[in-house]
Amino acid sequence: MLEPNQPRFDFSSPPPMQQQQQPSPSPAQFFPAQHSSTGGNAFYPSPAFGSGGVPPPAATAAAPQSDDRVYKGVHPVVALFHLAFKAGALLTFILGSLFSSSYVTVFVVTILFLAADFWTTKNVSGRLLVCLRWWNEVRDDGSTHWVFESAPDAEARVNAFDKWFFWITTGGNFLVWLLLAIFNLMSSRLPMTIVGAVLGGANFIGFLKCSRDAKKRVTQFMLERAAQQQGLVREAARAL
C-alpha cells in the first residue's frame, strides 16, 4: 500500500509521436533572387549567349605572330653592307659638293665607295644572297672568258626575300648611275658617273649571265636524268 503523497510513475511506453515532415529549405530562402535588367537570376547568372540564344563558337587557335623585322631575309648584315656602299657612293656624288668644295675629294671618296661596292657585291653578297659568283679571265691570246659558279642546290638554299633584294638593288644601282651619266654628259662629274655605270653594269650583267647559266645547267641536268630514267624503263621492259 502506497502512501498518498508519494508520486506514481507510469512505466508504460508512450504512444509514438507523429512527426510532421517539413520541406527542406531552398537556396532562394537564404539568397533571394535579384533580377537584373537583362533577365535571369543575379545570383546564378545565365551564360552570355549571342543573339537568338545561340552560344558563341569555340575560341579558335591563336593567330600567328607577325614578323616585325625590317629585313625579312636570312642575311641582314650582308644586305646592310650591300646597300650601304651603293648608298654611300650615290650620296657622296650628289651631296658631296655641299660638304667639300674640292672636286678631287668628292671624286676620290665616290670612287672608293664604288670600288668597295663592286668587290662586296661580286665576292660576298652575290655568293650569300643568291649563291652565285662570276669572274672574267683573260687568256694568253688576249681573249676574255666568263666563268660562272653556282651552288648545286641554289634553288633550295636561296631565300626569296634575299633574292628579290639583291636583284632590285643591283639592277637599280646600275640604272641610277646610267641615268646620272646621261644627265651629266656636259658636266665635269661625268667620269664619276661613267665609273659607277661601268662597275654597276659589270656586276649586274655578270650575275645575270651567271643566273642564266645556272638555270641552263639545272635544265640540262633534269634532261639527263629523264633520259636515264627512260633508258632504265626500256631495259626493264625488255627484261620482262
Split at pLDDT 50, 70, 90, the class of 163 is very high
At 169 the pLDDT is: 97
Q: Is the pLDDT of residue 119 over 60?
A: yes
At 183 the pLDDT is: 95
Instruction: Tell me what the mean pLDDT of segment 127-131 comes to.
Output: 93
Rounded CA-CA distance 126/124 in Å is 6
Burial class (CB in 10 A: 0-12, 13-18, 19+), 207: buried
At 91 the pLDDT is: 97
Burial class (CB in 10 A: 0-12, 13-18, 19+), 54: exposed
**Residue 184: phi, psi to the nearest 5?**
-115, 35
Domain locations along the chain:
76-239
Contacts of residue 192, Cβ cutoff 8 Å, sequence gap at least 6: 93, 106, 107, 110, 111
Instruction: Tell me what the mean pLDDT of segment 33-55 comes to.
Output: 48
Split at pLDDT 50, 70, 90, the class of 116 is very high
Q: Is the pLDDT of residue 64 over 90?
A: no
